[in-house]
Homo-oligomer: A and B are copies of this chain.
Amino acid sequence: MAITVVGSVAFDSIETPAGKRERCLGGAATYFSLAASYFTNVRVIAVVGEDFGKRQEAAFQARGIDTRGIERAKGKSFFWEGSYLDNLNEAKTHITDLNVFAAFEPKIPDAYRDSEFLFLANIDPVLQRRVREQMPGVKLVAGDTMNYWINDHRPALLEVLKGLDILLINDTEARVLGGNSNLVQAARAVLALGPSSLVVKHGEYGATLFHRAPQNGEEAKRTFRAPALPLEEVVDPTGAGDSFAGGFFGYLASLPEITPAAYRTAMFYGGVMGSFACERFGTERMQQLSRKEIDERFNIFRELTHLD
């Protein structure tokens, strides 16, 4: 079933210990879409500037991603410049130019309206909410956010959380949003804000899936830990979290029915796509995968964690 995703489509300049790239295709919605496209149909809502050309468009087309919701505006696309020279686990941001995103008014193409899955990638929660409200009929809504929105736009973010089924954030974000340094207690606090499931991403240590405690005789769902793949070289961690989300949510959207076991398998597919994202600069690896490679790596994740 189709996923509609709203978020940034951008250019990134990145420096890591492995090298440097200028203005490669980036943005949370881009990584998410590419990763999810190996599992299901994906439709993007974003805005780009006049610098978004045929080559960038082709990266989406090659993966069959619907770009009718990518609006072209006068000016430049969202631009981010950052480095990971001291710490591969945390980007140091040098420049964030919102450019055309500053005045973005998300519009949902009619062709997207039958999407049963909605992903609100990391953007201004006001925009996330606007898109959520325009798609009341979706079956499952997931989203991401970041410390900036948690700290400085909390009321708007809390409104978004009320409309989310699954929130995917990193460790620090979970502890800040939940107001507790203990992860289990922080997770419980976050789940009380709206989402019934929470995925906390631990970078190179994997991710943990928490579910809200059962209500009214509902089945208790298992907390689940998925590993990250120990990688010999992390070329570029940019987009790993968005690719995780794409693998996770893309897999869920590909299923006729979403069981508790499906969430666990989705955690593995998230880890798989996150690990691929780190292997090359920008979206390079995410553009050139095959489902066979993905499933082979899924098996490596299983061997990495399963006793038998």
Contacts and interface: CB of A to CB of B under 8 A. Distances in A.
Contact of A182 (B187, B234, B264, B302): B234
Interface stretch (A50-58, A123-131, A147-155, A203-211): A203-211
A306 interface: yes
Interface in A167-202: 181-185, 187, 202
Contacts of A268: 307
B208 A230 contact: yes
A233 interface: yes
A104 interface: no
A303 interface: yes
Interface stretch (A36-44, A68-76, A219-227, A287-295): A219-227
Which residue, A224, A225, A232, A302, has most C-beta atoms of chain B within 10 A? A225
B307 A265 contact: yes
Contact of A232 (B181, B184, B231): B184
A308 interface: yes
B183 A230 contact: yes
Nearest to A202: B205
B264 A307 contact: yes
A185 to B, nearest CB: 6
A83 to B, nearest CB: 15
A88 B184 CA distance: 14
A308 B225 CA distance: 13
